[in-house]
Structure 1
Amino acid sequence: MNDFQAVVDLAITKAPNHAAQIRHLQFDVEITEKGRFDRFPYVGKQRLQKLEGIKIGQWYGKQTNSHVYLGAMNQMIHHVKSVQGNQIKYPRPTLFFWSDFYQDFVGTQCVSPLNFHARSYYQYTFKQTFQLQGQAVYQFTVTPKMKTDRLFSGILTLSQEGMFVGFDGSVESDAIDYRIHIQNQYKYESWLPRIANFNVRGGVLGITGEYEIEENVQGEIQFWQPRVHEFENSNKINEVLNISERAFDETYVSQLLANLHQGLIRKWKQRPQSALQAVDSVIIEPVQQKQALHSAFFPAPLDSSSIAYFDTLRKSPFRLDQLIFSKSFYFGKKRADFYPFEIYYKSPVFDSNFNTVEGFVSNAALVFRKRWARYHWLETEVLGRRSFGLNRNTGYIKLRYKTENFDISASQGDYVAQYNPDNTISPEMNSLSTLLLKNNQMKIYRKQYWNISMLKRFSSRLFMKASAESAFRSQMDNSTGYHWVNYLNRTFSSNNPTNDESIKEGFDNHQSFITQFTLGFRPFLTQSYLNSTRQSDWGSSPLIQIKYRAGWPEVFGSQVDFQMLEFSYVQNLALSPWVKSGFILNSGTFFGRSPEYFLDYKHFNGGLNLIQTGDMLASHRLVGYYQNFTSGANQRLNVNHYAYSTSGTYLEALSQFQFSNLWLKPILGTKKAYVKELLIANAVYLPKQKLFYQELGYGLDGVIKVLRLEAIANFSNGQFNYIGFRVNINSRIRIGNIPE
């Protein structure tokens, strides 16, 4: 073929067909993977060594030997024959994944050189042609047409028919560098896998490291005829629904390595263009045959003590200094991943703060748990709260029963509550702003209450939350003007906020009975299967929620009377490999009677403090709880944190777009992939206040790797107010909405 560029065009055009024709194969494969940390913050370094057995510079890895039965490129049965750890005490098997460029996007949302629009992204320069296994193959140098991440650079090898033969090169994604070597073999008139190696290097938040995985197909690849129902979904489907809880329970190293692995293979495994659901069935031999470790792949250990055990349930003898920190004490015979009995001690050292109502406060608690499985337990929590300023002791007792998909609790006590219980202000951040900036954002009241709450996850697509609470609610006032810095000679604001709709400061003590019901639904969720476990791609569907909240008069002596209905739409998605977006739409109204007490108004989620560590999408930047750096006279004022709280109809829209390159970054010559540009647009419409409030902003995310800088302009009914500047902690838009 004289026109070498025609080979590239043929490969691009035929990519889906070439992927579809690879079916019904079986082969042996050896998968080796390893990872190490080159640099780690000092405090984290000590924790790694003490709790997880991790040493900086030491390689930790494992080797998996399996026989793979392939129905399609994303449908496999893995017969695991052996799993061995290299400096890891409890290794888990690594599953084979088929690496190629037949999809439009591969790996961590990178543009494949065989993408249908690949010629818009890449330049292909013919390098050479030669014979490989008796077949003519063609090599091309692939060069990106633009300077950005998520585009491959390297040598692409194609067959005369346009099939993928191999690749040697690299790609950068989110400041992580991937070096890739793939070499296929010719068999059955197709090019099938022989060896694939991925070397990953990078860092985040002062942590740097390296990860490598290599797949070697061993022996002959043979045909295999699956049974008719081999890859049909099991009649008994399980789902892992407590995603956030499991991620929190992971040790740091195992979680980080798992994220690297999953990020690498996610798109290769799913193959949305194949129209086939991804299915992985895993069979582990009960008596494994030991295979020789790939000695050339695993370097010698630093010393004999560098063994990673990833054990979060280690017992240690009791010492008095353990009471300084929160700690779990385990009892009974250890099962696979849990002890049947646990006493969890919550230390007051890290649950102490300051507010202008109670002064300095401290919380301490004991939690008694009986477990039947890792995420199936019954617990009793007893918490005490000491207000040193008021010389008052309060607290509560709570009984809770939970499984992976069901959670019910009942509590009773005398405690404080914030005006917005759905998205509370951090007491620790409020302490800092109060003591250093004389800005007491957190507003609280006292409640003597009982509460019943329930969460039921029916599936990944559907969940329900419900609660009922009876409380005697009492007004609380500022009791101290204590501060560390007399910032701008400010005066502390009242603990009883007002606005144009509610001009009366404070409220009469009263009894309330309030119920709330929330239904959440993800209608378009994409799913795959691992054995009989269904796994979800959380970014594939919006989250739609309907919330009904009501105060019931005369029930348990209640004096509140209102009804509220709210509709919410949440969608985080990638518009392209270089543009991510997030949207939140909230619309609601009160019907029947509007709430009499300001506590029961709809309160909006304001931007967090001068330093923000939470979800940066779920808030207005300059409205709400926290004071920001602002221009002009407004800098000297305390923002009315509840200025837009309403007892009427409301419409709220929050949006954010994250770009790899937009305006300022190219002008400044900042090429670092971890620096992203942000566009922010927020709005709220309140007919009862005749207000249309808007925010437009620009930001840089990832400055000095850990900071996010924002400049936000706000407008009221089209009139410019002021510009606010914010310094926040780097926080990427997470693609996907984790279930409740």
Structure 2
Amino acid sequence: MKKTLLYLTSFLLSFICAQAGRVTGTVKNQKGEMLPYASVFVKGTTIGTTTSSQGSYFLDLIPGTYTITCQYIGYTKVEKTVTVPASGSVTLNFELSIQQTTMKEVVVRANAEDPAYEIIRNAIRKKKDYVAPLDSFTCEAYIKTLVKTRKLPKKVFGQKIEEEDRKEMGVDSVGKGIIHLSESLTKIAFKKPGKIKLEVLSGRESGSGGYGFNFPTFINFYNNNVNVFTAQLNPRGFISPIADAALNYYAYKYLGSFWEDGKEINQIQVIARRNYEPLFNGTINITEGDWRIHSLELTLTKKSQLEILDTMRIKQIHLPISKDVWQTKDQVVYFTFNILGIDAVGNFLNVYNKYEVAPSFNKRYFNNVVIKYDTAVNKKSKAYWDSIRPVPLELEEVKDYKIKDSMMHYRRDSVWTKAYTDSMRKKQGKITVMKVLYGGFTRYNYNPKSPVWFTWKPLLQQVSYNTVEGLVLNAEATIQRSFPKIKQQVSFTPHVRYGFSNQHFNAWASLQWWKREFTWDQDGGTTSRTVWGLAGGKRVSQFNQDNPITPLMNSVYTLFDRRNYMKIYENYFGRISWNKRFDNDLRITADVLYEDRIPIDNTTDFSIFKDKDKVFTPNYPYEKIPAQFIQHQALIASISAQFQPGQRYIQYPNNKVAIGSKYPTFAVSYKKGIDKVLGSDVDFDKWTFSIWDNMNFKLRGEMKYRFSIGGFINDSKVPIQDYQHFNGNQLIFASRYLNSFQLAPYYANSTTESFYAVGHLEHHFNGFLTNKIPLFKKLNWHLVGGGNAFYVNKDNNYVEVFGGIENIFKLLRVDVVASYLNGQKGQVGLRIGLGGLLGGAIQLPQ
């Protein structure tokens, strides 16, 4: 039935196309040079297209006579009349001349202001009427994304790019070629106040069964702060040339005016007053009298605080879609980047058509699903794409689709043949001694009915040293089996650990089973994921279950500075856990843990550098307990929930994905120590409530916070392992931001009190202030500041404040921290961590 529908759709599309005539042609300037992405449309309508990168275009129209308008920024608009035949095509070429502007007659006075400033002031006063001129509208956006490499390095991160990989990418021997090509058609619906929905009707990606890049790049210069793609390009956004405070940031020059359709258009040069501010340079054209944006061409560079990309150029043409309403008709974003030797260029083309200014929506149309994919989004035929594509493909694009799609179909058709599976298994390479010791490896059986993965964690990356076990060797591997028909997976991970000094051998294992469920409903569908876990054996644990210090850092400080900060104990344990995550991002976790806790003491005094004034401390939280704890058993049950209200989603054909909310995340947990069951010696009740969020203030930076309160309702029997610990840090390397205290001791403030409060707050200025400092603005280093605190009572409290620099080499962050313990001045220290464009995206191990 599905194939029949596809054939019927293709037939209908072919029939419709047969009833339309086609207007084809090229757009050139007077020198005969092709004009890429010029706007071509039917006068008086929103039906139109743009030229390709080689200046060619086509329009499919029903038979009749039309006035076709051709427009390009910097050139005079041209209109031509054409009669479209009932079948076949008609050629209509355009030659555009450079826009001739005339200067207004002005009276020259000493210190006279350029006429551009008054025009810009008028545009600023009127922009509130144009930022969202319609109560609601719908339109369609054709989106084409193209990325081409100009050069590729021989190696990336030390890994050689093999010739076979170059061919699969579609580049030649020197690394030139198309590495990404996609197109899509998306319906956009808007309704005040701020309701938006995108329906991705179709999408394709060259050489892939994916959907391509489907989201229109809404760049609204009527907003004070302009977002371009993602906040990663600049979390502060960019200041519009007609922002409320634009005259503080920009200089303007009047270039003259020209006339179109009886309306005078003023051409203004936009000049950033300062480098290393989030500012544009280029040209903006403003209509006389009503002061709208007619068109623009604006550029961003590294001196605009642009991250990742080297340059970005934005071109927009606005057209009237009704008597008093103008909207963006065409938009092209050109970009270049050179990262790790990968030199590339690309563009994002958006063509907006079929505007409807008074649509009707059903009551449930605007919901928390903001992006919805059609169930057949990537199953459209070539005939379909040829019928809806407003911009003709270039020869290299046609070739790219043909070659890569053929390769994709070949791989798909042969994917599970014996030759294919044998080839892929062989491609995984041999298991070498270096992979076992340092590199690690993964092996896959390439069986679609019962896929199995085996992953080995390299031995040398798990070697550590401590004063209890001496040299520690760990080994870990995971085997995972998937059940595609029932959408379930099972994984088994055994661990072994041996300490050469105390000669203790520990072994434990974990088993996980998870299932993903998807249920259709009238809003599209709901998804959920359930994970069951079972673990047990004999292991080594830190007294603070949050693991405030990593084995690697403890090894470095123990061997080189005679500091044994990590405190550990052995335990026979068994754990069963259950986790449920719903598509509204509600997460519920339940857990039952049994531990037979065994004390272990220091067995070695070895360190590389000896210092008679430094003595290793005992292997227990000596700040809170006078001697090593006594072996005991603990049975602990816990339950927690986490929720972020107002969650928004992307609805894919077969699942639903949460993409965030404007509200903070809330979490609550409860932990119960159960006495006299299975020999348990603990009896306590402990609760915690937390709230956290990131708040982007654009030009003024981004604030992140996390606040928690909690305490013990019952503290009858609380071993040191179950105290409330505040994650300290006594290393020069920063511990997890927003979850620790950079200068606090690890256990000195641990408590069993009935109430405590914890707060973490930091503000990332993202270039605000530092872009006034010559060296800092060139390096694009940013300020960060904030504080951390906890309060138990007047005798147990802690505050630290910090200020620092981040985005050093896009990776590092350095803070100076001052602490106050129990109301008394503590210490001042330096902390080095990860922060900035790349460093901020790296998650430290939990």
Q: TM-score, normalised by structure 2?
A: 0.69
Pairs aligned (count): 664
Partner of 2:298: 169
Pick from 26, 43, 61 the counterpart of residue 179 of structure 2. 61
CA distance in 1, matches of 2:750, 2:552: 24
Cα shift at 1:143: 3.9
Pick from 329, 332, 346 the counterpart of residue 212 of structure 1. 346
Matches within 5 A, 1:293-308: 294=394
The one-letter amino acid paired with 1:139 is Q
CA distance in 2, matches of 1:728, 1:558: 41
CA distance in 2, matches of 1:44, 1:519: 43
Partner of 1:728: 833
CA distance in 2, matches of 1:679, 1:96: 35
Higher RCO by CA contacts (8 Å cutoff, separation 6 or greater): 1
**Quick one: structure 1 residues 623 and 37, their matched pair in 2 at CA, closer, same or farther if it must change by over 3 Å?**
farther
Cα shift at 1:711: 1.1
Partner of 1:652: 758
RMSD of the TM alignment (CA)?
4.1
Pick from 330, 339, 346 the counterpart of residue 194 of structure 1. 330
Q: Deviations over 1:209-239 (max 9, x none)?
A: 5452231539x757699785598269xx99x
Partner of 1:347: 458
**Quick one: structure 1 residues 297 and 124, their matched pair in 2 at CA, closer, same or farther if it must change by over 3 Å?**
farther
State whether structure 2 residue 478 is matched by structure 1 residue 367: yes
Asked if structure 2 preserves the Cα contact closer than 8 Å seen for 1:366 and 1:382, the reply is yes
Pick from 488, 491, 505 the counterpart of residue 379 of structure 1. 491
Cα shift at 1:676: 0.8
> What SS does structure 2 have at the residue aligned with 1:660?
coil
The one-letter amino acid paired with 2:470 is G
Asked if structure 2 preserves the Cα contact closer than 8 Å seen for 1:30 and 1:66, the reply is yes
State whether structure 2 residue 665 is matched by structure 1 residue 543: yes
Cα shift at 1:667: 4.8
CA distance in 1, matches of 2:611, 2:334: 53
Asked if structure 2 preserves the Cα contact closer than 8 Å seen for 1:714 and 1:721, the reply is yes
Pick from 129, 141, 149 the counterpart of residue 277 of structure 2. 149
State whether structure 2 residue 323 is matched by structure 1 residue 323: no
Cα shift at 1:13: 2.0
Partner of 1:616: 737
Structure 1 unaligned residues grouped into runs of 5+: 239-276, 625-640
Matches within 5 A, 1:569-584: 569-584=691-706
CA distance in 1, matches of 2:737, 2:154: 26
State whether structure 2 residue 399 is matched by structure 1 residue 287: no
Partner of 1:462: 586
CA distance in 2, matches of 1:592, 1:159: 72
Structure 2 unaligned residues grouped into runs of 5+: 1-103, 105-114, 232-236, 387-391, 416-420, 517-528
The one-letter amino acid paired with 2:490 is L
> What SS does structure 2 have at the residue aligned with 1:577?
helix
Asked if structure 2 preserves the Cα contact closer than 8 Å seen for 1:582 and 1:655, the reply is yes
Asked if structure 2 preserves the Cα contact closer than 8 Å seen for 1:539 and 1:736, the reply is no
Asked if structure 2 preserves the Cα contact closer than 8 Å seen for 1:543 and 1:737, the reply is no
Cα shift at 1:550: 2.0
> What SS does structure 2 have at the residue aligned with 1:284?
coil
User: What is the aligned-residue identity percentage?
Assistant: 20
**Quick one: structure 1 residues 193 and 49, their matched pair in 2 at CA, closer, same or farther if it must change by over 3 Å?**
farther
Asked if structure 2 preserves the Cα contact closer than 8 Å seen for 1:516 and 1:547, the reply is yes
Cα shift at 1:521: 1.9
Cα shift at 1:39: 6.9
The one-letter amino acid paired with 1:681 is G
State whether structure 2 residue 503 is matched by structure 1 residue 401: no
Partner of 2:138: 24
State whether structure 2 residue 477 is matched by structure 1 residue 477: no
The one-letter amino acid paired with 2:180 is K
Asked if structure 1 preserves the Cα contact closer than 8 Å seen for 2:645 and 2:661, the reply is no
CA distance in 2, matches of 1:427, 1:736: 19
Partner of 2:776: 670
> What SS does structure 2 have at the residue aligned with 1:569?
strand
Partner of 1:232: 365
CA distance in 2, matches of 1:606, 1:35: 47
Asked if structure 1 preserves the Cα contact closer than 8 Å seen for 2:119 and 2:291, the reply is no
Asked if structure 2 preserves the Cα contact closer than 8 Å seen for 1:166 and 1:181, the reply is no
> What SS does structure 1 have at the residue aligned with 2:669?
strand
> What SS does structure 1 have at the residue aligned with 2:630?
coil
Partner of 1:440: 564
Cα shift at 1:408: 1.4
CA distance in 1, matches of 2:253, 2:609: 65
CA distance in 2, matches of 1:49, 1:402: 39
CA distance in 2, matches of 1:400, 1:729: 32
Partner of 1:517: 639
CA distance in 2, matches of 1:449, 1:534: 37
Asked if structure 2 preserves the Cα contact closer than 8 Å seen for 1:174 and 1:673, the reply is no
Partner of 1:627: none
CA distance in 1, matches of 2:198, 2:262: 30
Partner of 1:422: 546
> What SS does structure 1 have at the residue aligned with 2:697?
strand
**Based on CA coordinates, which of the two structures has the bigger radius of gyration?**
2
Partner of 2:811: 706
Pick from 305, 313, 316 the counterpart of residue 180 of structure 1. 313
**Quick one: structure 1 residues 567 and 25, their matched pair in 2 at CA, closer, same or farther if it must change by over 3 Å?**
closer
**Quick one: structure 1 residues 221 and 563, their matched pair in 2 at CA, closer, same or farther if it must change by over 3 Å?**
closer
CA distance in 2, matches of 1:22, 1:318: 58
Cα shift at 1:279: 5.4
Cα shift at 1:421: 1.5
Partner of 1:493: 617
Partner of 1:356: 467
The one-letter amino acid paired with 1:157 is N
Larger deviation, residues 436-445 vs 177-186: 177-186
**Quick one: structure 1 residues 540 and 157, their matched pair in 2 at CA, closer, same or farther if it must change by over 3 Å?**
same
The one-letter amino acid paired with 1:141 is Q
CA distance in 2, matches of 1:187, 1:224: 11
Cα shift at 1:430: 1.7
CA distance in 1, matches of 2:254, 2:398: 37
Partner of 2:23: none
